[in-house]
Amino acid sequence: MMPARDLGWDEDGTADNGAVTWQHALDYVAKLNAESYLGYADWRLPNVNELESLVNAGEANTAAWLNTQGFTNVQFFTNAEDKKTTYYWTSTSYSSTSTVACRVNLTDGWVCATSKSTNYYVWPVRGGQHLTQPAQVWKTGQTESYAAGDDGDLEKGVAWPDPRFTDNGDGTVTDNLTGLMWTKDANGAGGTTDWYGALDYVWGMNAGTNPNYGYTDWRLPNRKEMYSLTDASQSAPALPAGHPFTGVESDYYWSSTTYAYTCSNAWMVLMESGLVHAYSKSEFHYVWPVRAGLRDHTDITPEQAESLIETTPDIMIVDVRTAEEYCEGGSLPGAMNLPWPDVFQERYSELPVDAKILVVCESGYRSNQAATLLDHNGYLQVYDMLGGLGAWQGETAPCCSTLSDVKIKYNIYVSGQATWSEVIDCYNQYAL
């Protein structure tokens, strides 16, 4: 935005490339307000929660995706070296060092912190305080201001409830901001484990082999849920003052969310600072289970899904990929194809509400959305296969093994994405 409308105004960095220091970013937003840019005079530099809210963990390149959602010129990197220069500034200062501020990389979603003298991009924001909006961004917790117009000065976002947490007296704590229930002991697993071990530990809680405090619907929190605990005004740990948790480590905690840019990595939150990074799933980090809140379905690994299918003959498997994806690579044996979002949203009610349902897609992003929709509509036995078909090592069934598959192939032909001979071949495979 900056180089497009104010050539040369970012001369503290490379002229006209849009990258400026943190204070310059704040000054630029003040300049927009002085001009009533686009008819508004309440622009601000987004706080870390606001900017992080743009991250789509299902996309390997959030910036490229945003450029298809109505935005323009969202900066992204194409190699590791460029990553250092393509961050966007937030108005949130780093809790332990006032000369450092938080930044977000909108290519892969990393939330980091760096010196305010570094040059990064600026993306102004306004509004976002109306309770009629479909999703709310809450305050970061930062109250100390280091410059006019920064996070501590404006304190934008939905206010935290008081009290923020309720100790339920049974080994669990409810976050009254999100409705999520957490284990009170943030180190109930008794140490660190790799990502798969973290998922297995939660599976064990639900199976009763690990302490479950009377509940059998625990899960490893996704990236957003894990990050929701953090307080930008605190450090070591970056949790709200007076929290009731025990055993909190100022270290990394696993999320269930795979890093789409490199699927062998997963997202984690550093509880020392509240920053969000992604590293190899083979590393060892802490586990903090969660339940209830905004979604209740169970996340399971492909190996656990295979075991579930073997032991549950009546399970319904729903593949929410496009018909083209479904027919090109096959799917789990017995899967039905209800592509997300249009077909699934139109037909999900055909699924029995009391059925055990396993939802799958290619990477786990669309299946999570579909499973969440089922959660919100009273389905109580929903499973989401983490990593999707891309991580599945078990048996697959080719397209055209059922009459329904032939109909799908015919619809692909009607849409111009397949030839008539391919439809005939598909029917012949089914007939065999």
pLDDT reading at 198 higher than 70: yes
Residue 225 has pLDDT above 90, yes or no: yes
The contacts found for 62-70 with CB under 8 angstroms, 24 or more apart, are: 62/106, 62/107, 62/108, 62/109, 63/106, 63/107, 64/107, 66/106
Tokens standing for residue 14: 């490379």
User: Do 263 and 315 share a structural domain?
Assistant: no
If one counts the domains in the chain, the total is 3
Q: Is the peptide bond before 341 cis (omega within 30 degrees of 0)?
A: yes
Residues 391 and 328 in one domain: yes
Does residue 162 lie in a domain region? no
Q: Which residues pair with 193 in a beta bridge?
A: 285
Whether 222 and 255 have beta carbons less than 8 Å apart is answered as: yes
Contact 42, 242 (CB under 8 A): no
List of residues 6+ apart from 410 with CB closer than 8 A: 423
Which domain range does residue 315 map to?
298-397
Query: Which of 61-75, 77-91, 151-165, 394-408 bottoms out in mean pLDDT, i.e. has the lowest?
Result: 394-408
Asked if residue 28 has pLDDT above 70, the reply is yes
Q: Check whether residue 352 and residue 330 sit in a common domain.
A: yes
Average pLDDT, integer, range 393-407: 72
Residue 420 lies in a domain: no
Does the residue 240 lie in any domain?
A: yes
Distance CA(141)–CA(391), nearest Å, equals 38
Confidence (pLDDT) at 1 = 45
Q: What percent of the chain has pLDDT over 90?
A: 58
8 Å CB contact between 238 and 272: yes
pLDDT at residue number 26:
96
Domain check: are 286 and 309 in the same one?
A: no
Residues 343 and 360 in one domain: yes
Q: pTM of the full predicted structure?
A: 0.65
CATH of the domain at 199: 3.10.100.10
309-356 confidence digits (pLDDT tens): 999 888 999 999 988 888 777 788 888 888 898 889 888 888 888 789
User: Average pLDDT in the 7-34 region?
Assistant: 79
The reply to whether 12 and 124 lie within a common domain is yes
Q: 3-state DSSP call for residue 327?
A: helix
- Digit-coded pLDDT (tens) for 72-103: 999 888 776 667 778 999 999 998 789 999 99
Do 254 and 199 lie in one domain? The reply is yes
Distance CA 154, CA 396 (A): 54
Mean pLDDT of the chain: 86
Which segment, 18-27, 340-349, 379-388, is predicted with the most confidence on average?
A: 18-27
Would 106 be classed as within a structural domain? yes
Report d(CA 320, CA 359) in Å as an integer.
7
Backbone CA torsion sign across 14, 17, 23, 24: positive
Q: Region 384-397: what's the mean pLDDT? A: 88
Please list the alpha-helical segments (H only) found in 249-314: 302-311
DSSP structural state of residue 410: H
For residue 226, what pLDDT band results from cuts at 50, 70 and 90?
A: very high
Strand partners, 318: 336, 359
How many CA within 13 A on the CB side of residue 50?
A: 25
CA–CA dist 22, 29 (Å, integer): 11
Residue 160 DSSP one-character state: P
Q: Residue 133 pLDDT more than 50? A: no
- Cα 79 to Cα 40, 58, 61, 64, distances in angstroms: 37, 19, 12, 14
Question: Residue 381 is part of a domain; what is its CATH number?
Answer: 3.40.250.10
Whether 265 maps to a domain, the answer reads yes
**Do 117 and 228 belong to one domain?**
no
Contacts of 390 (CB under 8 A, 6+ apart): 263, 362, 363
How large is the C-alpha radius of gyration of the chain? 24
276 and 183 belong to one structural domain: yes
More confident residue, 21 or 428: 21
The answer to whether residue 13 scores a pLDDT higher than 70 is no
Determine how many CB atoms are found less than 10 A away from the CB of residue 321: 24
Confidence label for 358 from pLDDT (cuts 50, 70 and 90) = very high
Q: pLDDT value at position 430? A: 57
- For the cut 70, the answer to whether the pLDDT of residue 50 exceeds it is yes
195 assigned to some structural domain: yes
**Domain check: are 71 and 56 in the same one?**
yes
Average pLDDT over residues 134-138: 69
pLDDT at residue number 80: 67
Give domain status of residue 153, yes or no: no
Is 128 found in the same domain as 46?
Answer: yes
Which region among 55-64, 164-173, 282-291, 330-339 has the lowest average model confidence (pLDDT)? Answer: 330-339
Arithmetic mean of pLDDT, 184-193: 97
* 250 in a structural domain: yes
- Out of 132, 153, 183, a domain closes at 132
